[in-house]
Chains A and B, each alone.
Chain A
Amino acid sequence: MQWDIVIGLEIHVQLATKTKIFSGSSTAFGAEPNTQANAVDLAMPGTLPVPNEQAFRYAVMFGLATNAEIGRRSMFERKNYFYPDLPKGYQTTQLAQPIVGPGHVDIDLADGSSKRVRIHHAHLEEDAGKSLHEDYHGMSGIDLNRAGTPLIEVVTEPDMNTAEEAVAFAKKLHSLVTSLGICDGDMSQGSMRFDVNISLKPKGSETLGTRTETKNLNSFRFMEQAIAHEVERQMDILEDGGTITQETRLYNGDRDESRSMRSKEEANDYRYFPCPDLLPVEIDDAFIEDARARLPELPDARKARFKEQYGLNDYDAGVLSGDARLATFFEETMAHGKDAKLAANWIQGEFSARLNAEEKSVAESPISGAQLGALVTRIADNTVSSAGAKKVFEALWSGENDNVDAIIEAQGLKQVSDTGALESMVDEVLAGMPDQVAQYQGEEDPKKRKKMLGGFMGPLMKASKGQGNPKLFNEILVRKLGG
């Protein structure tokens, strides 16, 4: 049987405010447990929440960037449940009147088409703390540093039909919030967490099937795997004539397994009601216009500009504009390097590979855009070959030297581009290889000839001590050997 896959996402985005949503504690990541939790965060008796204006501003900016209606009157509610890392015994969140109403985001797909994904709403809420299940003398530890960190939870309509679409949406959202500067986007630190709702229905059917929710996916790769895994699991059950249980599942990315966390019957009755400690918040035109004025260039506009300004192709422009920090890095590179295509190749190639290999973010890169730009300039003007450039890159990365020209000088990587000198080297080498020259000249097939040309390059590079410009060598060879 053929199945349609229906996917909706809920995304928790930690807002990059300096302080928590209802208290003055710092939101910085990585501090000693419970050092960033004050009396309010600990839910000490009598303490009260005071809303953080910046969290509202960020939420409104998100709404504007996703073409959404802004909730002019939003209200906090209490979601009641007991858990040790939830200090008040309820989460302060929004339900009936969220800050961001219906909106949409357009995603680009690999086949060049684009698709609109509708956003049902996005609401403000507080994050919980963390339970540390390592052994504390037979007990669990509770770290409340994260408790009260502002989140927006973005809820999409079930508009995605493949894992590819879901991941494209997730990446687009990541790109949006990091471009807006409202989230640091560090998924490994939980700054963005994805819940995926998946259901299957017979191909073409109008009726949605029973869905499951897979919670807390914190990388695009796990998300893609988890969707594939869950689609397969549901398909197996349905094709064996079984039914899907509405439940919440946990996916273990390391083992590619999932297990049920709780079924609908076990679901909590959260007993939502308006939080009496917080008054409804009215958002006026001035606040919205102020937020609008703070909107930076968004990914779609940036992509269009990259194509226009730098002549990049659609793919390169998409990759380089998608991540706000990568985009900034690219533009820094371009400020010091002339060749956009070359810069794009280096950033997506060597640079990204090294970051990935060392699990570093763009911000943690030991190389600046300006340095890479200088290197690109030296490649473009033939000062170094691409093999030489890799050595320069290595020296920059290791911090051995921070100046591109100085490295080229010190390592003797400067190419010889003096045509006279190169020509005499070619003459000398060809004179020493008469058989190969004859063979080449006797060959009719241009492909084979091209390949045979490579046979002269080795000795030429050796003769030039690696400093001959390969491009020029090639030109001279072709000319001398007679096309």
Chain B
Amino acid sequence: MHNKSVAELSRELESGKISSVELTQQFLDRLKQEDGKYNSFITISDEQALAEAKSADEMRSAGKATVWTGVPFAHKDIFCTNGVRTSCGSKMLENFVPPYDATVTEKFKAAGAVCLGKTNMDEFAMGSSNESSFFGAVTNPWGLSNGEKRVPGGSSGGSAAAVAARLVPAATGTDTGGSIRQPAALCSITGLKPTYGRVSRYGMIAFASSLDQGGPMARSAEDAALMMNVMAGFDPKDSTCIDRDVPDYTATLNEPLKGLRIGLPKEYFSDQLSPTMEAQVRNAVREYEKLGATVKDVSLPNANLAIAAYYVIAPAEASANLSRFDGVRYGYRCADPKDLMDMYTRTRAEGFGSEVKRRILVGSYALSAGYFDAYYLKAQKVRRLIQQDFINAFKEVDVLMSPVTPSPAFIQGEKTTDPVSMYLEDVFTIAINLAGIPAMSVPAGFVDGLPVGLQIIGDYFSEARLLNAAHQFQQVTDWHQREPQ
């Protein structure tokens, strides 16, 4: 069962060959047995999962089943889950059990899906390797057979590793600068960062509010489309969520790609990209040509400014978003505070890890009197230029294709002492968040046994087209079906 897709599991349940309780138990058993190798889960919520499975079986017998009813999956530990610990990968929330659900959580519950637990992540989603988690690093299932412990990418590294290792068929992720796409690429799974405002952020613990977006991580475009059917949609609890009709993302998966205009941004095929990676990406693009697409080079002239702008805007927003973790109302509080200032400083010094502290400091600096114009305002101007680059590109082409990462999964510990080289992991993904457009990562081959991702970038609200393009590619390739040994 563990190798089946969401669509297949749904059909198994529908046929009555297996109940959700049985299926859930099988997945839980395997998860507990296997996850020692990956550390992809922070919390396994057996009790709640089995209870949800029981309700799912009842829902099905009552004739109220959806595609998701009874299907196991997992949430990134950034989505609040009523009654189940939500840590965001931090000591600060090590024992935090929210009394409410995120909107995304609610939607999966309403569909009858069964959440097995909460996946590991970089602390407060800050990182590209899943090494900043308070609950320990996650190991990529790829490379393990050579005895190498490689990073799964981050920040949604737990979700990516768990899906790649077949511990769950699908998991939610969030993407602020590449946190769905980069781990999806490094673990050879399919991930989608939707248009900003397509998926509600309510109950999704904020890193950088103007960039954060939840999205699906699964093994195929079809399963990602099934997730999007649950996740997408307007939420009155999120003022930045956009009130716009949600299509059935599975309905257009089989549209032919003939005439699809693909643009290759020349700035994304630069020296930063290793030649072997580039070869894999170009091979993938050739598959699209075989499917009837046309390809041309395009330019995103301000692409080189994206990392600099991002590392002002994201930390600035984070510095304020993380102020609420002050030890007053919930979460970690230092022992025996002498006075208020002592409580604040020690709570935050002890409760946050070093990457989080680095970003709070950078963000506070960028917003400080005397620096605000030079950093924050300048970065916002750059952001508009980057956005305009994409708008211009989409006048000429339907989608853009590029690599997701400059190189494959690296060995754990390799970049932990060099934050800038870590930040460069997101060089091809970050601009998409600044522009607010959707993009996918699709398995597109291997280099030295390590996965390579193809990034497909689309115009605002073009998720259905991206999923269609990914699905058609997956009909003629089997990269997404390869299993780590």
Contact = CB atoms under 8 A, between A and B. Distances in A.
Interface of A: 39, 42-51, 78, 80, 82, 84, 87-90, 142, 269, 271-273, 276-279
Contacts of B316: 273
Given A45-B80, A46-B204, A277-B239, A271 B326 contact: no
A116 B208 CA distance: 46
Q: Which of A45, A49, A80, A84 has the most CB of B within 10 A?
A: A45
Nearest to A45: B205
A430 to B, nearest CB: 83
A279 B205 contact: no
Interface in B320-367: 320, 322-324, 326, 328-330, 340, 344, 364, 367
Given A46-B203, A49-B239, A84-B328, A273 B376 contact: yes
Interface residues of B, number: 44
A39 B324 contact: no
Nearest to A34: B329
Given A48-B237, A87-B328, A276-B240, 6 more contacts: A44-B80, A84-B340, A87-B324, A142-B328, A273-B317, A273-B320
Contacts of A78: 320
A82 B238 contact: no
Contact of A276 (B210, B368, B369): B210
Please report whether the interface of chain A is mostly helix, strand, loop or mixed according to DSSP.
Answer: loop
A24 to B, nearest CB: 10
Contacts of B205: 45-46
B421 to A, nearest CB: 28
Contacts of B328: 84, 87, 142
Interface string B237-251: 111100000000000
B323 A44 contact: no
Contact of A279 (B88, B239, B319): B239
A327 to B, nearest CB: 39
Please report whether the interface of chain B is mostly helix, strand, loop or mixed according to DSSP.
Answer: loop
B484 to A, nearest CB: 32
A367 B202 CA distance: 51
B436 to A, nearest CB: 12
A277 B240 contact: yes
Interface stretch (B94-102, B293-301, B395-403): B94-102
A48 B340 contact: no
B86 interface: yes
Contacts of A49: 239
Contacts of A50: 236-239
B93 interface: yes
Nearest to A42: B329
B461 interface: no
Contacts of B372: 271-273
B209 interface: yes
B326 A82 contact: yes
A54 to B, nearest CB: 16
Q: Which of A80, A84, A90, A277 has the most CB of B within 10 A?
A: A277
B368 A278 contact: no
Contacts of A271: 319-320, 364, 367-369, 372
Contacts of B329: 42-44, 87, 142
Contacts of B201: 46, 48
27 contacts: A43-B329, A45-B93, A45-B324, A46-B80, A46-B203, A46-B205, A46-B206, A48-B201, A48-B237, A48-B239, A48-B240, A50-B236, A50-B239, A78-B320, A84-B340, A87-B324, A90-B323, A142-B329, A269-B368, A269-B369, A271-B367, A273-B372, A276-B210, A277-B239, A277-B240, A278-B240, A279-B240
Contacts of B78: 46
A207 to B, nearest CB: 25
